[in-house]
């Protein structure tokens, strides 16, 4: 009997990637095989993103391509809540399901491409199917979000915060590490709120009681002996508690904190979590405890009502905060977002001009922070080996979004190796290094 073959297109953020991995793990457990081309597939699943308009268009195009090249298409993911829009453009799709609807997707696959009677359960590796390279993996600790930032529709797509019990998260982390993963990237919509919905309930890992709470998770993950990187952390007061773990080298001295703005007025209009915290003095204190701390953030310029004075406050914040890595977007309205109804939209040309000024100011800061690393010895993790040498990442660099470390000539290294290097050069984004023992 022929194995049913699935093609899978995964779009969107790391959180969507984790959803894709879950769906694939389930299908693979049932005996489906995963194939890399439309032509080889009996059916294609497209996991979409609906966060901003550009992502919606990309998702609709991906659905169109899958229909042209294969013809049997099931759509899932964030865009799934806008089924009428998908059907208006692509009436032939077999089924549309929303984000976080694993069972529904799997049922739709069963309906249109039945599984074999005797599932090849033993073909499934215990760590599940990973779409990231084997040496790093995203660890999703919760779904949804209790906040209602006015520019964001994620809570309406994914619902309120639902945390996974800490025992379950730790068991998954342990399996990943046993399968060779060297770096765990903790993701969610709001990592520091982990466990709030469960009232920080006690759960068990290896027979040991642990509270379902951000600090306890960080401390337990630190015991696994791999890099642990925290993403999407909001600066609630209890975030201070994990900084000593970073200073002691237990988890990576890295915090991805989406600040989005620095003007109190704009943050209020955005309804941002933890907006009232005094960020600059917190950052100073964190760096005092952990001088190695790397801070990454994202910002939005041109939010409705942003005045030149608000924007200048943001630039002054950048100078003071000296963040290591920063992403910035101009505000663009997302269908269904509350911010669309705010008065005083900022003209496009002003948004673009502010973006350029922001990026120029931050480029200098990022470059000087990287320059200060020249001459330092550090351990890096190899992501890729090419003809000229190895491409690695330092503790300061998350995959896909931050910089890289190029080690010329180190072609003997393998993907997933640790290497001791000395940084010798830097540009605005990346570092060049040689092996410490050469």
Does residue 155 touch ligand SF4 according to CB under 6 A? yes
Rounded CA gap, 275 and 277, in Å?
6
User: Which stretch, 149-157, 170-178, 209-217, 416-424, contacts ligand SF4 (CB under 6 A)?
Assistant: 149-157
Q: Is the four-CA dihedral 22, 23, 27, 30 of positive or negative sign?
A: positive
Nearest to 297 by CA among 334, 272, 271: 272
Pick the binder of ligand SF4 from 66, 152, 301, 318 (CB under 6 A).
152
Please name every residue paired with 340 in a beta bridge, in sequence order, or none if there are none. none
User: Which stretch, 141-149, 204-212, 360-368, 408-416, contacts ligand SF4 (CB under 6 A)?
Assistant: 141-149
Nearer to ligand SF4, 133 or 333 (CB): 333
CA angle 398-403-406, nearest 5°?
115
Distances (CA, A) of 127 to 25, 235, 416: 9, 32, 17
Rounded CA gap, 247 and 434, in Å?
26
**Closest CB 44 distance from ligand SF4, rounded Å:** 28
Does residue 230 touch ligand SF4 according to CB under 6 A? no
**Closest CB 234 distance from ligand SF4, rounded Å:** 7
User: Which stretch, 142-150, 178-186, 218-226, 346-354, contacts ligand SF4 (CB under 6 A)?
Assistant: 142-150
Does residue 147 touch ligand SF4 according to CB under 6 A? yes
Rounded CA gap, 63 and 72, in Å?
10
Please name every residue paired with 140 in a beta bridge, in sequence order, or none if there are none. 187
Does residue 81 touch ligand SF4 according to CB under 6 A? no
Does residue 159 touch ligand SF4 according to CB under 6 A? no
Does residue 337 touch ligand SF4 according to CB under 6 A? no
**Closest CB 266 distance from ligand SF4, rounded Å:** 14
Nearer to ligand SF4, 188 or 404 (CB): 188
Edge-to-edge order in the sheet of strand 325-330: 136-140, 183-187, 227-230, 254-256, 294-301, 325-330
**Closest CB 152 distance from ligand SF4, rounded Å:** 3
Nearest to 235 by CA among 224, 243, 227: 243
The answer to whether the CB of 291 falls within 8 A of the CB of 300 is no
**Number of chain residues interacting with ligand SF4 (CB under 6 A):** 10
Does residue 226 touch ligand SF4 according to CB under 6 A? no
Note the Cα 25 to chain centre separation in Å. Answer: 20
* Residue in the block written with tokens 């299908």: 27
Burial (0-12, 13-18, 19+ Cβ within 10 Å), 45: buried
**Closest CB 159 distance from ligand SF4, rounded Å:** 11
Residues in binding site for [4Fe-4S] cluster: 13, 49, 78, 145, 149, 152
Pick the binder of ligand SF4 from 30, 190, 203, 310 (CB under 6 A).
190
For binding to ligand SF4 (CB under 6 A), which residues are involved?
145, 147-149, 152, 154-155, 189-190, 273
């Amino acid at each position: 009997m022929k194995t049913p073959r699935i093609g899978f297109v995964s779009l969107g953020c790391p959180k969507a990637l984790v959803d894709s991995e879950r769906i694939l793990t389930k299908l693979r457990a049932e005996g489906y095989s995963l194939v890399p081309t439309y032509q080889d597939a009996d059916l294609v699943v497209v996991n979409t993103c609906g966060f901003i308009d550009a992502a919606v268009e990309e998702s609709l195009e991906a659905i169109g391509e899958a229909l042209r090249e294969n013809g049997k298409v099931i759509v899932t993911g964030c865009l799934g809540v806008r089924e009428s829009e998908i059907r208006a453009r692509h009436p032939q799709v077999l089924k549309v399901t929303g984000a976080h609807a694993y069972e529904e997707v799997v049922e739709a696959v069963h309906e249109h491409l039945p599984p074999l009677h005797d599932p090849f359960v033993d073909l499934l590796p215990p760590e599940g199917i990973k779409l990231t390279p084997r040496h790093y993996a995203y660890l999703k600790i919760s779904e949804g979000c209790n906040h209602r930032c006015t520019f964001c529709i994620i809570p309406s797509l994914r619902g309120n915060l639902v945390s996974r019990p800490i025992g379950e998260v730790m068991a998954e982390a342990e399996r990943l590490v046993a399968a060779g993963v060297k770096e765990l990237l903790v993701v969610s919509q709001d990592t520091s709120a982990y466990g709030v919905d469960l009232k920080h309930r006690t759960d068990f890992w290896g027979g040991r009681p642990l509270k379902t709470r951000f600090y306890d998770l960080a401390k337990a993950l630190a015991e696994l002996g791999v890099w642990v990187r925290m993403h999407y952390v909001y600066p609630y007061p209890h975030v201070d508690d994990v900084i000593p773990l970073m200073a002691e080298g237990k988890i990576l001295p890295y915090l991805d904190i989406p600040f989005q703005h620095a003007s109190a007025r704009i943050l209020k209009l955005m309804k941002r979590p933890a907006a009232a915290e005094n960020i600059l003095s917190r950052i100073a204190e964190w760096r005092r405890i952990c001088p190695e701390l790397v801070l990454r953030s994202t910002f939005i310029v041109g939010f409705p009502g942003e005045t030149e004075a608000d924007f200048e406050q943001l630039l002054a914040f950048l100078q003071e905060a000296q963040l290591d890595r920063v992403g910035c977007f101009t505000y663009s309205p997302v269908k269904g977002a509350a911010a669309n109804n705010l008065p005083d939209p900022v003209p496009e040309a002003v948004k673009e001009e502010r973006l350029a000024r922001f990026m120029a100011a931050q480029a200098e800061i990022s470059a000087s922070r990287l320059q200060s690393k020249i001459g330092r010895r550090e351990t890096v993790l190899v992501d890729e080996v090419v003809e000229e040498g190895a491409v690695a990442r330092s503790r300061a660099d998350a995959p896909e979004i931050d910089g890289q470390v190029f080690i010329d000539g180190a072609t003997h290294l393998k993907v997933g190796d640790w290497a001791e290097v000395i940084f010798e050069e830097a540009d605005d984004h990346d570092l060049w290094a040689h092996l410490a023992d050469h």
